[in-house]
């Protein structure tokens, strides 16, 4: 089944892109799980234990080509993302609206800002303006290190880029302007502990 972005460009899943290179090395720091897998498990843990209600946002899709090989079955052959997505996750914690994006990079020395888009930065700004909590969770796949960076701090680096500065955030900058999250068992990525710090600092 073929998916396309709103601009018509074909969507290629990350897993397929990685298969193209036989030189990719397998990292055992997380047993092959993606950042999304770990966050979904974490959010299920939070929900089951009455800690928070956080879900991955569904992506609106417009179906344009469906085949009916049988009367009782339909096969989607082609579809388009209806609109550009804002952020990956949202929900409620301690009466506060939570909204965040999750990104991974194979780069071991910096985080490329091309992983974000203008509309995502603007979306997070609006969340903060309305007393919500917005942030990004970044994983360096080479080391498995995970960081939580507030949207305000991300906005600083984004503006720097827009003003003609570097197009990435160095690892040292990520370390100094973010909180590192240690990978655990239950929950996998306990980011709520860092959210508590954001609440204490800003509310």
| Averaged pLDDT, 53-75 | 75
pLDDT-derived band at 1 (thresholds 50, 70, 90) equals low
The first and second tokens of residue 21, run together, are: 């290179």
3-state DSSP call for residue 139? strand
Report residue 184 as tokens: 């655990």
Is the predicted pLDDT of residue 184 greater than 50, yes or no? yes
Mean pLDDT of 112-118: 94
User: Residues near 179 by Cβ (< 8 Å), separated by ≥ 6?
Assistant: 147, 148, 194, 197
- 36-50, 77-91, 112-126: lowest mean pLDDT where? 77-91
The helix or strand, by DSSP H or E, that contains position 104, with its residue range, turns out to be strand 96-105
- pLDDT, one tens digit per residue, over 38-51 is 999 999 999 999 99
Q: What is the pTM of this model?
A: 0.75
pLDDT in tens, 124-177: 999 999 999 999 999 999 999 999 999 999 999 999 999 999 999 999 999 999
CA-nearest of 24, 42, 44, 40 to 182 is 42
- How far apart CA 110 and CA 172 sit, in angstroms, is 8
Q: What is the pLDDT of residue 44?
A: 97
Higher pLDDT, 85 or 37: 37
The pLDDT, as a whole number, for residue 203 is: 87
User: Do you find a cis peptide bond into 139, omega within 30 degrees of 0?
Assistant: no
In this predicted model, which residue has the larger pLDDT, 26 or 181? 181
- Within 10 A of 151 (CB to CB), how many other CB atoms are there? 25
Q: Which pLDDT tens digit goes with each residue over 88-101?
A: 999 999 999 999 99
Q: Which of 27-31, 73-77, 117-121 tops mean pLDDT? A: 117-121
Structure tokens belonging to residue 121:
């930065």
**Residues constituting the chain:** 203
| Residue 18 pLDDT | 44
- CB 84: neighbour CB atoms within 10 A? 14
**Of 41-45, 74-78, 79-83, 133-137, which range is least confident?**
79-83
- The whole-number pLDDT of residue 74 equals 75
């Amino acid at each position: 089944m073929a998916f396309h972005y709103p601009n018509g460009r074909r969507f290629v899943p990350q897993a397929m892109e990685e298969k193209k290179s036989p030189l990719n090395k397998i990292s055992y720091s997380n047993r092959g799980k993606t950042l999304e897998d770990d966050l979904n498990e974490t959010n299920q843990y939070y929900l089951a234990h009455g800690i928070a209600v956080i879900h991955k946002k569904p992506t609106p899709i417009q179906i344009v080509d469906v085949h009916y090989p049988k009367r009782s079955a339909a096969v989607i052959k082609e579809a388009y993302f209806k609109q550009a997505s804002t952020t990956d996750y949202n929900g409620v914690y301690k009466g506060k609206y939570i909204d965040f994006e999750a990104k991974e990079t194979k780069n071991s020395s910096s985080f490329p800002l091309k992983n974000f888009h203008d509309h995502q930065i603007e979306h997070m700004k609006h969340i903060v303006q309305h007393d919500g909590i917005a942030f990004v969770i970044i994983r360096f796949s080479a080391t498995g290190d995970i960081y939580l960076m507030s949207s305000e701090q991300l906005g600083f680096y984004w503006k720097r880029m827009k003003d003609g500065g570097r197009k990435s955030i160095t690892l040292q900058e990520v370390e100094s302007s973010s909180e590192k999250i240690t990978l655990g068992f239950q929950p996998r990525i306990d980011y709520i502990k860092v959210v508590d710090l954001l609440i204490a600092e800003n509310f």
